[in-house]
Structure 1
Amino acid sequence: MISIRYLRHQVLDIGSLDILPGITSIIGPNGSGKTTLLKICAGITEPDAGTVLVDDLPPRKTEIGWVNEFPDRNILFDTVVDEIASPLRFQRIPCREISDRVDSHLEFMGIMPLRDRGMRELSGGEKILVALAASLIHHPQVLVLDEYDSHLDETRAMEIDHLVRKSGVPYVIRCTQQMESATRGDRLIWLENGRAGYNGSPREVFAALSGTPFYPLSLRCGI
């Protein structure tokens, strides 16, 4: 379990929040603290106060995968192979194992034809797939996706959701503006003014937000 206690940072003010294994989507208005919360859970940002623990360990002592909203901000190297291999090279994994694991992840992601391409030659959707492969190759305990689907059509977003679930990462935390994507997760957190207003299944949260047994079409956008 990811346990958040007495968290204070910028707009965030969360007394107690537990994130269970599975895919958790975070939604809410602009400025509600979604990306800030993701950065804290990923260990990129340290909170001003409070704690975040991933199975009793701080994020910076946990294997974390991160995919940014803007594909070009993910890029560290010139070629697809080097980009995907980079987390393993930083860990000083033997070259033969790196090569095997890169090819395995290219196959898993369905992007083997991109193997010898340059990163700057890729489309936005292809860059997201490569960034996801790079974030998964070191078998993270937590995968954090910051509005990675904002530049994808619904078909491609569904494909990536399938790959994320198939990857078997214990904790996936994603921020999304796409309500269809949010419904495909296991849990949903509604964040507003830095506070977690609702936390439950997508059906439960959308019902609470709309005041109806399920959510209206109007909630699928504008959040």
Structure 2
Amino acid sequence: MIRITDLRHRLLDVPDLAVDARHIAVIGPNGSGKTTLLSVCSGIEAPEAGSVRLLGRPPSAVKVGWVGEFPDRTLLFSRVYDEIAATPRFRHLPCPETDRMVRAAAGVVGIPHLLGKKIPALSGGEKALVALAAACAGDPEVLVLDEADSHLDGVTAERVRRVVQESAAAHVLWCTQSMDVAATADYVLFMENGRVRHHGTPEEVFSALEETCFYPTIWRVCR
């Protein structure tokens, strides 16, 4: 369960929201507060007022994996192996356990061949996959993706979607500009001017957005 109560932070104004779904898509126009909401839910930012609870706990007490839109801004280490190993190392796990987690995460994402590479030499898509592997290496309870698919080619974007779907995380919060991706979620939040204007199943939310640019293209073709 994700529970938000009396949240006020920058432009955010979310009086009460409870979501008990695994894959939650966050959509809306630019500047609507999507990234800010994800930052608060992930614990990157503390709310000015109100509270957020993930699985009954504050974000700081939950294992959260974060994948941002621009990996160059979030990747901290020069070598792929070290980037993926960061979370288990920060938890002071033994070296053999850290190595197991790194290789398992790289295998899930499909990048074992990149473990010895230098990050500056990677393509943008490869960096996105490294960021995803790093997020998954900590066995996150909640996985947060902030438009992680925005600048990817179709093949890489599909790989990201597959990894996210197969993740063991209890909740996936995915801010995306792809309404076709959002339409596959269990639950959708549509944000505007810092508020959650619509929320519910994809059918419930997109029925209110049918005359807008936020209606899934695949639905226009197939329905």
Give me the TM-score of the superposition, normalised by structure 1.
0.92
Corresponding residue of 1:145: 145
Q: Deviations over 1:114-166 (max 9, x none)?
A: 11111111111111111111111111111111111111123322221111110
Give, in whole Å, the separation in 2 of the partners of 1:107 and 1:216.
32
> CA shift at 1:218, angstroms?
10
Give the residue type in structure 2 aligned to 1:126: E
Give, in whole Å, the separation in 2 of the partners of 1:115 and 1:105.
11
Corresponding residue of 1:65: 65
1:2 aligns with 2:2: yes
Is the 8 Å Cα contact of residues 144 and 174 (structure 1) preserved in structure 2?
yes
Give the residue type in structure 1 aligned to 2:76: L
Corresponding residue of 2:45: 45
Give, in whole Å, the separation in 1 of the partners of 2:29 and 2:211.
18
Corresponding residue of 1:131: 131
Structure 2 unaligned blocks of 5 or more: none
Structure 1 residues 20 and 178, CA gap change in structure 2 (3 angstroms):
same
Is the 8 Å Cα contact of residues 179 and 217 (structure 2) preserved in structure 1?
no
Give, in whole Å, the separation in 1 of the partners of 2:41 and 2:62.
10
Corresponding residue of 2:154: 154
Structure 1 residues 215 and 15, CA gap change in structure 2 (3 angstroms):
same
Secondary structure at the counterpart of residue 208 of structure 2 = helix
Secondary structure at the counterpart of residue 152 of structure 1 = coil
Is the 8 Å Cα contact of residues 203 and 215 (structure 1) preserved in structure 2?
no
Structure 1 residues 51 and 219, CA gap change in structure 2 (3 angstroms):
farther
Secondary structure at the counterpart of residue 210 of structure 1 = coil
Give, in whole Å, the separation in 2 of the partners of 1:9 and 1:127.
31
Give, in whole Å, the separation in 1 of the partners of 2:218 and 2:163.
28
Is the 8 Å Cα contact of residues 157 and 181 (structure 1) preserved in structure 2?
no
Give, in whole Å, the separation in 2 of the partners of 1:52 and 1:99.
33
What is the RMSD computed on CA atoms of the aligned residues? Answer: 2.0
> CA shift at 1:11, angstroms?
1.0
Is the 8 Å Cα contact of residues 180 and 217 (structure 2) preserved in structure 1?
no
Q: Deviations over 1:146-188 (max 9, x none)?
A: 1111111233222211111101111110111121221222111
Give, in whole Å, the separation in 2 of the partners of 1:200 and 1:153.
29
Give, in whole Å, the separation in 2 of the partners of 1:150 and 1:194.
21
Structure 1 unaligned blocks of 5 or more: none
Corresponding residue of 1:174: 174
Give the residue type in structure 2 aligned to 1:40: V
Give, in whole Å, the separation in 2 of the partners of 1:153 and 1:126.
11
Equivalenced residue count is 219
Secondary structure at the counterpart of residue 24 of structure 1 = strand
Is the 8 Å Cα contact of residues 67 and 132 (structure 1) preserved in structure 2?
yes
Give the residue type in structure 1 aligned to 2:64: I
1:108 aligns with 2:108: yes
Secondary structure at the counterpart of residue 82 of structure 2 = helix
Q: Deviations over 1:165-223 (max 9, x none)?
A: 101111110111121221222111100111111111222211111169x9464999xxx
Give the residue type in structure 2 aligned to 1:92: H
Is the 8 Å Cα contact of residues 31 and 193 (structure 1) preserved in structure 2?
yes
